[in-house]
Amino acid sequence: MKPQQQSHALAYCGAARDILTIIGAKWSVLVVSLLEERAKRFSELKREIGDVTQKSLTTVLRELEKDGIIERVVTPIVPPRVDYSLTPLGRSLLVPIKSLRIWAMENHPAIVQSRSRYAEKEAA
Amino acid sequence: MKPQQQSHALAYCGAARDILTIIGAKWSVLVVSLLEERAKRFSELKREIGDVTQKSLTTVLRELEKDGIIERVVTPIVPPRVDYSLTPLGRSLLVPIKSLRIWAMENHPAIVQSRSRYAEKEAA
DNA sequence: CGGTATCCGGTGGGATACTG
DNA sequence: CAGTATCCCACCGGATACCG
C-alpha cells in the first residue's frame, strides 16, 4: 500500500520469479533455443546438447510441457517416436530469451573481468 | 565443430547460463529493479523487499557486486552507512530484465492456466 | 527409442544468534 | 546500521540401472 516504485516492483515480482524458475532450469533455455528451428525428437535434443543425462533432459521437457512452453507428440510406433515442438507461447518466449542472449554475449566478458578483479582484491 | 544451429546454440550456452545464474538468484532481479530509481541503502532494500533475510540479501548484493552489476559504497561514519547503486553494466541489464518482465506479465496467466490444466489431467 | 526408478552429493537459501 | 557466523534442510540435478 506504499506509493510508487515499491509496490510496482513487488507487483511483477511473483510473475517474474515464476518465469525465472522456468528459464533458470539448467537446460531449459538451450532446449527452447534448439526447438526454434523445428520440432525435434528426444534423441536429437540429447545428442545436440551433449552433456545432459536422460533424466535431466526428461525433467526439463516435462516442466516446459506443464508450463505450456513446448508440446509433446507421441507417435505410437515401434520403436516409439516422440517429438517436441514450441507452442505459440514457447515461441513468444524466444523474444525475451533473445534479449537475454544478446546481453549475455555483449557483457559476458565484462562480468568475467569483474569477477577476476574481485578475486585479485581478495587474494591481496 | 558441427555445422549451423547446433554450434550456434551451444556457443552462447555458457554465457547465457552464467547470466541466468546471476539473475536466477532469488532476489537479484528485484534488487536490480529497485535500484533503477536511485541508489539505496541496505536497510531500504530490506524494508522494500520485505520477506528476505539479512543473509540472503547480503549474499545477493555480494554476488551482484562481484559481477560488476552494482556498486557498494561504504561511508565510514557511526552508525555505518552503505549505499548500493547500479553500475553502467547493471543499468544495461535492465533492458533484458524489462523484456523478461513484460513477457512475464503478459504470459503468466497462460502459464498458470496450463499448469492447472495439467494438474487436472493428472488427477484423472 | 524414450523413457522411469532409485540413490545421492552439492548448494541455495531460510532461521537464528552474535558483532563492529 | 549493516553486517558475520552457524546450523540445517529441501531440492536440484547427475549417475546408474532397469523397462515397454
Nearest to B67 among A37, A49, A115 (CB): A115
Q: Give CA–CA dist A36/A56, Å, rounded.
A: 20
Contacts of B80 (CB under 8 A, 6+ apart): B74
Whether the pLDDT of residue B5 is over 70: the answer is no
Q: What is the pLDDT of residue B111?
A: 96
Give residue-wise pLDDT tens across range A48-106: 998 999 999 999 999 999 999 999 999 999 999 999 999 999 999 999 999 999 999 99
Give residue-wise pLDDT tens across range B22-81: 999 999 999 999 999 999 999 999 999 989 999 999 999 999 999 999 999 999 998 999
* Residue B58, CB, strand C, below 7 Å: no
Q: Give CA–CA dist A24/A11, Å, rounded.
A: 20
Beta bridge partners of B86: B70
Q: What is the pLDDT of residue A5?
A: 45
Provide the grid cell at A63: 516442466
- Tell which strand C nucleotides have any atom below 7 Å from a protein Cβ: 1-6, 12-17, 20
* Percent of chain B surpassing pLDDT 90: 77
Domains of chain A, start order: 27-123 (1.10.10.10)
Strands of the A81-86 sheet, one edge to the other: A40-41, A81-86, A70-75
What would the DSSP string read from start to end of B49-67?
H-S--HHHHHHHHHHHHHT
pTM: 0.90
* Residue B85, CB, strand D, below 7 Å: no
